[in-house]
Amino acid sequence: MQSSFKHLRNLLFIFLLLACSSSIGHAQTLEFVPRIGLTLSQCSLNSDDTAPSSTDKELKPGLMIGTFIKVLTSEKVNLYSGISYIEKGSKTSHLAYSGNLKNINAFDIKLKYLDLPLQANVLIKKSSNNSALYLILGAGFSYWIGGNFNVYFSYDDPNGGPPFQASANGKVKYNGESSGVSGYTFYIAKRYDLNIYPGMGFSIGNKINLEISYAFGFTDIEYFPNTFGKNRVLQILAGIPLKVKKTRI
């Protein structure tokens, strides 16, 4: 628990450092961009299971909310950093056969992160009313802060009886050594997730920003036994640029 608070404290310190550094520049105003939006998540699976099987995946909806601070600006490129709360996860069902026996594992997992992004908005086209189309090139460091899960199991009886069925739900826990389901509890082995996210954005009269991007995570998560996946997140966001005049001391 103390380790978790230490990591969270470090993340908040980095955010405050970025906020302070942005205020040292020559610009007379600070630009904040509060943002809120929808995430649609999946996991990209890499299975080592050699039994004939199939996996169905659905998009897992979630929330993303936070704020950006403009840390660098030029004629063509604006650079932002900030902090966000983001929900990732997966809804998957795994079908496997052992001979004629059918086994089903279904997982509905939500993982909650604090994210420190660094995003460059590259201007493509700007209109006379200050509306603009821009390319998004972003990277982020996400720190896991919690989550919850629902799992369902169904196994055929080799003796011909009714299938064994069970379900469980609860809080995702940190293990530090292994991840996946154990004793009807879902564990996560790594607290962090590194990602990059390309996308597109549209600024309407410099009053509202609409953005869509797709994040590619690099951290392996064991969603099933011997089956690993990486977070894939579609992010649909709206932000409102707010400018605050600096005061000189």
Q: Check residue 170 and give its pLDDT.
A: 85
CA separation for the pair 117, 100 (Å, rounded): 48
Inform me whether the pLDDT recorded for 3 exceeds 80. Answer: no
Query: At 3, is the secondary structure helix, strand, or coil?
Result: helix
Name the residue with tokens 């990591």: 7
Q: Check residue 9 and give its pLDDT.
A: 53
CA separation for the pair 23, 246 (Å, rounded): 8
| Residue 63 CB contacts under 8 Å (≥ 6 apart), including other chains | 36, 37, 38, 39, 85, 86, 87
Of 47-61, 167-181, 192-206, 216-230, the range with the lowest mean pLDDT is: 47-61
Of 22-31, 58-67, 206-215, the range with the lowest mean pLDDT is: 22-31
Q: Check residue 108 and give its pLDDT.
A: 86
More confident residue, 227 or 49: 227
User: How many CB atoms neighbour CB 221 within 10 A?
Assistant: 24
**Domain residue extents for the chain:** 2-245
pTM: 0.79
- Digit-coded pLDDT (tens) for 13-31: 555 555 555 444 545 567 8
Q: Are strands 185-188 and 192-204 parallel, antiparallel or unpaired?
A: unpaired
Percent of the chain with pLDDT over 70: 76
Inform me whether the pLDDT recorded for 105 exceeds 80. Answer: no
> Of 202, 205, 236, 204, nearest to 133 (Cα)?
202
- Digit-coded pLDDT (tens) for 116-154: 999 999 999 999 888 999 999 999 999 999 998 888 878
Q: Mean pLDDT, to the nearest integer, of 58-77?
A: 89
Task: Report the first-to-last Cα separation within the chain, whole angstroms.
Answer: 40
Backbone angles phi, psi at 84, to 5 degrees: -145, 150
- Digit-coded pLDDT (tens) for 151-185: 887 888 777 788 888 888 888 887 755 555 555 56
More confident residue, 65 or 90: 65
CA separation for the pair 116, 120 (Å, rounded): 14
Q: Mean pLDDT, to the nearest integer, of 198-204?
A: 96
Q: Mean pLDDT, to the nearest integer, of 183-188?
A: 68
Name the residue with tokens 């977070």: 231
